[in-house]
């Protein structure tokens, strides 16, 4: 049996919980950006101020906070990754990939 074709109830529940958490974070982010786009009740168009707000937001977003560690034991084996697959997972993320994800998120603002 291939690993990808066997979904345990744990994985299904984990996926649902992660999707819910992602939706909550995206909603919070949308609200924050809406609030930050206004200054004193009017739209802020100052490029420097918007840039500073953006840098500050993402700096805070990616600062590590202590979290409770979750341990999961898997009783089954995992398929081995090829060298190419392993290399793909450990390669640096490019600016184009980050921008693509950020600008593709318009579906969350419907």
For 1-56, give the secondary structure using H, E and C: CCHHHCCCHHHHHHHHHHHHHHHHHHHHHHHHHHHHCEECCEECCCHHHHHHHHHH
Query: DSSP letter at 87?
Result: H
Q: Where are the domains of the chain?
A: 7-65
Tokens of 79: 């398929």
In angstroms, the CA 69 to CA 40 distance is 41
Could you say which residues of the chain have pLDDT below 70?
1-7, 36-43, 64-70, 72, 74-76, 104-110
pLDDT at 31: 82
pLDDT at 21: 94
Helix, strand, or coil (residue 82)? coil
pLDDT at 22: 94
In angstroms, the CA 5 to CA 50 distance is 46
40-72 pLDDT, tens per residue?
A: 666 677 788 878 878 887 777 777 666 666 676
pLDDT at 19: 94
């Amino acid at each position: 049996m291939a690993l990808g074709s066997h979904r345990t109830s744990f994985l299904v529940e984990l996926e649902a919980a992660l999707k819910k958490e992602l939706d909550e974070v995206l909603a919070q982010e949308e609200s924050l950006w809406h609030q930050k786009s206004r200054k004193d009740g009017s739209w802020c168009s100052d490029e420097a101020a918007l840039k500073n707000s953006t840098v500050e937001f993402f700096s805070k977003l990616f600062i590590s906070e202590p979290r409770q560690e979750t341990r999961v034991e898997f009783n089954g084996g995992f398929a081995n990754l090829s060298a190419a697959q392993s290399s793909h997972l450990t390669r640096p993320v490019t600016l184009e990939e980050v921008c693509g994800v950020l600008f593709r998120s318009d579906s969350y603002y419907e």
